[in-house]
Amino acid sequence: YYTDYAILGTIIIIVSNCMDMILLAKQDSKLFITSAVLQRVILIGVYIIFYKYMGLKGLGLSYLILGITHISIMSFILIHFYSIKLSNRIKRLLLLVLITTFSTNYLRGIEVMWLKVVIGILLFVSTSAFTYLYMRRIMGIDLLGIISSKINKRL
């Protein structure tokens, strides 16, 4: 499906767009605009070729290629011009999100309904628990505490 590849590309682009913001924070808009324009010009050709030979699936795949290309170029620029690289925690988190997304795409193809439901519930519970723990430990946000205080105020 088109969306299988496009979602993976979107996740990668979310991370690489944050890297773009570093260039803007460094007030290097010339390098930011130059890299963005060159990437888009090259990738327009990729979009056209992939769409011509693969249809919508090709567009999704080319969007994934855009994401991989963008994060690779931004990593190169930030490392070589500013000695800035993604932390290992961000890399692991990106990999975990990509694996989870790939797993949900794979889950769609399981024919045995009870197995699909069980695996879906396990994915939902595990990702919810991970998100809650990440928010609490890394971001310092106690979501359950916030919700419980809101409920207690209304009672």
Model confidence band, residue 154 (pLDDT cutoffs 50, 70, 90): confident
Instruction: State the average pLDDT over residues 24-53.
Output: 88
Residue 102 CB partners (closer than 8 Å, separation 6+): 8
Whether the model clears a pTM of 0.85, i.e. scores above it, the answer is no
3-state DSSP percent of the chain in helix, strand and coil, to 5: 85, 0, 15
Instruction: Report the pLDDT value the prediction gives residue 31, as an integer from 0 to 100.
Output: 86
Span 62-112, pLDDT tens digits: 989 989 998 999 899 999 989 998 889 889 989 998 888 888 888 888 889
Residue 114 CB partners (closer than 8 Å, separation 6+): none
Instruction: State the average pLDDT over residues 117-125.
Output: 92
Among residues 1, 18, 20, 21, which one has the least CA distance to residue 101? 1
Q: Say yes or no to pLDDT of 122 above 90.
A: yes
Cβ contact 57:1 at 8 Å = yes
**Nearest-angstrom CA–CA distance, 24 and 46:** 27
Q: Which amino acid, residue 59?
A: L
HEC readout, 33-62: HHHHHHHHHHHHHHHHHHHHHHCHHHHHHH
